[in-house]
């Protein structure tokens, strides 16, 4: 069927020459009269960091579930083939599409001289509107709720095209005929589900639910120590990322620990936290909040934190916590509020040494998104180096002072 394929992409940045990648695709089909006939959207795993997440709002936890561009290329080609490509800043989107197709060995797309840019056409059909998508939609009275979501932006651009078509009449009918005659490459079709934002919350759940149910038994000391050591590292920033949850589940299964075994270890861990808080004879409000938060993160029943703090003084104190020492190497990854340079300067003021890349000598990685797929984060996980958020690192700096 002839018609238009309105496209929008979210990317890790603005330049393919810098290695930026597509991380979300939205496509809306319109018939020749501008009526919507279908829409599709998916996140795309770029196998690298996600760039300015404060702009596009995509999390690495969701991206972990997303297909790669190679896995969607066949289906995406089918959605574009035979239709006039449309986008707000079409040149930008086609440039990124071509870059992604080049990466998987697909020849030049047949759309270089065919397509409609709703930003360029605004000069004719919305002469007094700003050129950005939000400005054009405001003037044309087209809703745009959730800007920088690929499907939402594609819907908005589709609304602009329909607005233009009402004024242009048959001006783009030749483009429809030309698009129908174009031959597109045929990437292999892959059986990969397209996924939308929020998939992590739907699929991941609490990591305890993913542990195998085995007959409960007392873990051997070596097993308990290995699990508790990883747990201590994971809870360094009082947050369990999706990647860290995966690591806990994997280790528990490797050690032969069932859900009941892990729950017992979680109780032991919290009891040791309570013992450490009581060791100086005073339990501060900050310590109470920390123990309550840890209990919640570990999926322990309400009231467990209070029990840990009220336990007998004979409870076993836990092992020393992770601490940074002057001269320790730290690595930053991702785009952070205030800029990475300011965080590196704060680390220097605390006598830590910012390092440009991850080696086995690095003690800590600070990531804008703890689930990041950046090369630095992947190497840190391989070496068992803790990864924490900038907020957690700021707390460490405060405690160090």
pLDDT by 10s per residue, the chain, length 401: 789 999 999 999 999 999 999 999 999 999 999 999 999 999 999 999 999 998 999 999 999 999 999 999 999 999 999 999 999 999 999 999 999 999 999 877 887 678 999 999 999 999 999 999 999 999 999 999 888 899 999 999 999 999 999 998 888 999 999 999 888 888 889 989 999 999 998 888 888 888 877 766 667 888 888 999 999 999 998 999 999 999 999 999 999 999 999 999 999 999 888 888 888 888 899 889 999 999 999 999 989 999 888 875 554 545 566 889 999 999 999 988 888 999 999 999 999 999 999 999 999 999 999 999 999 999 999 999 999 999 999 988 887 77
pLDDT attached to residue 213: 74
| Residue 333 near residue 356 (C-beta atoms within 8 A) | no
In terms of C-beta density within 10 A (0-12 exposed, 13-18 middle, 19 or more buried), how is residue 202 classed?
Answer: exposed
Alpha carbon distance 305, 301 (integer Å): 9
Kindly give the interhelix angle for 133-140 and 150-168, rounded to the nearest 10 degrees.
50
Kindly give the interhelix angle for 259-278 and 221-234, rounded to the nearest 10 degrees.
70
pLDDT attached to residue 319: 56
pLDDT attached to residue 16: 94
Torsion of CA 25, 29, 30, 31, to 10 degrees: 160
Q: Which residues contact 168 (CB under 8 A, 6 or more apart)?
A: 125
- The domain over range 4-200 is classified in CATH as 3.40.50.300: no
Alpha carbon distance 14, 51 (integer Å): 10
| Residue 56 near residue 42 (C-beta atoms within 8 A) | no
| Strand locations in 44-97 (E) | 84-87
CA 144 and chain centroid, separation: 23
Domain boundaries, the chain: 4-200, 204-310, 329-400
Burial pattern 355-384, b for ≥16 Cβ within 10 A else e, equals: beebeeebbbbbbbbbbbbbebbebbbeee
CATH of region 329-400, choose from 3.40.50.2300, 3.30.230.10, 3.40.470.10, 3.40.50.10190: 3.40.50.10190
SS3 290: helix
| Residue 227 near residue 194 (C-beta atoms within 8 A) | no
Alpha carbon distance 175, 77 (integer Å): 18
DSSP collapsed to 3 states, the chain: CCCEEEEEEEECCCCHHHCCCEEEEEEEEECCCCCEEEEEEEECCCCCCCCCHHHHCCCHHHHCCCCCHHHHHHHHHHHHCCCEEEECCHHHHHHHHHHHHHHCCCCCCCCCCCCEEHHHHHHHHCCCCCCCHHHHHHHHCCCCCCCCCHHHHHHHHHHHHHHHHHHHCCCCHHHHHHHHHCCCCCCCCCCCCCCCCCHHHHHCCCHHHHCCCCCCCCCCHHHHHHHHHHHHHHHHHCCCCHHHHHHHHHHHHHCCCCHHHHHHHHHHHHHHHHHHHHCCCCCCHHHHHHHHHHHHHCCCCCCHHHHHHHCCCCCCCCCCCCCCCCCCEEEEECCCCCCHHHHHHHHHHCCCEECCCCCCCEEEEEECCCCCCCHHHHHHHHHCCCEECHHHHHHHHHHHC
Q: Which stretch of DSSP H or E encloses residue 180? A: helix 173-181
């Amino acid at each position: 069927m002839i018609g238009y394929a309105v496209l929008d992409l979210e990317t890790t940045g603005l330049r393919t020459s810098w290695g930026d990648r597509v991380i979300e695709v939205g496509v809306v089909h319109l018939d020749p009269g501008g009526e919507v006939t279908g829409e599709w959207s998916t996140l795309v795993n770029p196998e690298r960091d996600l760039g300015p997440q404060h702009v596009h709002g995509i999390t690495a936890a969701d991206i972990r579930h997303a297909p790669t561009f190679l896995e969607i290329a066949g289906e995406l080609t089918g959605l574009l083939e035979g239709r006039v490509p449309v986008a707000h800043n079409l040149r930008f989107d086609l440039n990124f599409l071509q870059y992604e197709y080049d990466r998987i060995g697909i020849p030049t797309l047949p759309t270089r001289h065919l397509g409609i840019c709703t930003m360029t056409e605004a000069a004719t059909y919305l002469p007094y509107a700003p050129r950005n998508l939000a400005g054009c939609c405001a003037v044309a009275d087209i809703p745009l709720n959730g800007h920088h979501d690929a499907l939402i932006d594609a819907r908005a651009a589709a609304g602009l095209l329909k607005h233009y078509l009402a004024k242009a009449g048959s001006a783009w009918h030749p483009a429809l005929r030309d698009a129908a005659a174009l031959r597109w490459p045929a990437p292999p079709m892959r059986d990969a589900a397209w996924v939308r934002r929020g998939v992590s919350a739907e699929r991941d759940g609490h990591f305890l639910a993913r542990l195998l149910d085995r007959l409960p038994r007392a873990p051997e000391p070596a097993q308990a120590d290995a699990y508790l050591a990883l747990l201590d590292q994971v809870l360094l920033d009082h947050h369990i990322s999706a990647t860290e949850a995966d690591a806990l589940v994997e280790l528990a299964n490797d050690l032969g620990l069932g859900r009941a075994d892990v729950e017992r270890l979680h109780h032991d861990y919290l009891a040791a936290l309570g013992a450490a808080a009581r060791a100086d004879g005073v339990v501060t409000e900050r310590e109470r909040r920390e123990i309550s938060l840890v209990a919640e993160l570990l999926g322990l029943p309400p009231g467990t934190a209070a029990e840990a703090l009220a336990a007998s003084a004979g409870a076993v104190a836990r092992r020393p916590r992770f601490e940074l020492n002057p001269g320790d190497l730290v690595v930053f990854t991702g785009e952070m509020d205030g800029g990475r340079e300011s965080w590196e300067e704060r680390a220097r003021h605390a006598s830590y040494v910012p390092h440009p890349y991850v080696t086995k000598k690095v003690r800590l990685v600070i990531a804008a998104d703890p689930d990041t797929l950046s090369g630095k984060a992947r190497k840190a996980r391989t070496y068992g180096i803790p990864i924490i958020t900038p907020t957690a690192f700021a707390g460490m700096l405060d405690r160090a002072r």
